[in-house]
Amino acid sequence: MKPFATLYTKRPGGIKMAILKVENLKKYYGENKAVDGITFEVQKGEIFALLGPNGAGKTTTIKCILGLRKKSAGKILLNGNFSYLPEKKELYRYLTVEKMLNITKEISKYFSKKNAVELLNDFEIPLNEKIANLSHGMLTQLYISIVFSEDVDIYFLDEPTWGLDPLMRTKILELIRNMSLKGKTIFYTSHILSEIEKIADKVAIMSNGKILESDYLDNIKEKYVACVVKDEDVDGYLYKKTDSEKIYITTKDKAKGRIEPATFDMIFEAIVKGVEK
């Protein structure tokens, strides 16, 4: 994977630089199409959320981007250095927290131990504690402290709040947003939609190895509505069906019958179910 010449995209309000561009990415394991020809790009300073149910292909996509998995086909253009928070938050259990920081400092030229210690103090995690003694939530906080203490261009975060209590989850989301405000780019996977609505700029909805929808979050919420009909079909996604009516999620120009607002949860569920009529 090689850095690419600077790419620019025209957006309302000016021209923005693409820090990551993925074109027709495929990753097959035998007959299993884990990633099946996906295309998207991420602009510098954005929070990009890759959404989807378990097994959608989100983690495989990240690993292909970072060179941790060999892609079957496609192009990956990454313009900048990165740090990675994996889905499985595993560190050397026999080390103390401080020893883990010291090792990280030795192997990463982008890492600031001072910044990591400040974050760990905020999380109330002792430096002399053995990693083996940390709870799942504390281990995630330690890993996040290490990743966000690296001064890089883009941060890849695979389910960064999974297993955290609501208060700590909110704290992590604030940290992610603050990094974006400093000009850093965040590539973020999750299946917790309420989180995504709080912090994401752009989203891509993925299922069964394919990206089914990708746009700025506000555009997606503006694009779709719910419509209720009795017997007729609608060109869109069948959301729910009863004996007397059907509810579709569709674009405004294709809506029929009684039209109602659609929440992002409704849009996501309908697209992932993928029942097109």
Residue 1: what pLDDT? 38
Residues 95 and 4 in one domain: no
Residue 82: what pLDDT? 96
Q: Is 214 a member of any domain? A: no
CA distances from 275 to 28, 124, 187, 233, 238 (A): 24, 47, 28, 12, 6
Residue 207: what pLDDT? 93
What is the pairing mode between strands 47-51 and 202-207?
parallel
Residue 275: what pLDDT? 44
Q: Is 213 a member of any domain? A: no
Residues 36 and 8 in one domain: yes
Q: Which residues of the chain have pLDDT under 50?
A: 1-14, 275-277
CA angle 157, 54, 219 (to 5 degrees): 65
Residue 17: what pLDDT? 83
Residues 164 and 110 in one domain: no
Residue 16: what pLDDT? 67
Residues 63 and 197 in one domain: yes
Q: Where are the alpha helices (DSSP H) in the chain?
A: 58-65, 97-107, 113-123, 136-147, 166-181, 193-199, 217-223, 264-273
- Residue 263 to residue 81: CA distance in whole angstroms: 36
Q: How is 189-245 classified by DSSP, letter by letter?
A: EES-HHHHHHH-SEEEEEETTEEEEEEEHHHHHHHEEEEEESS---SSEEEEE-SS-
Residue 61: what pLDDT? 97
CATH number, domain containing residue 46: 3.40.50.300
Residue 215: what pLDDT? 96
Q: Which domain covers residue 231, as residue numbers?
A: 224-273
Q: Is 46 a member of any domain? A: yes
Residue 268: what pLDDT? 95
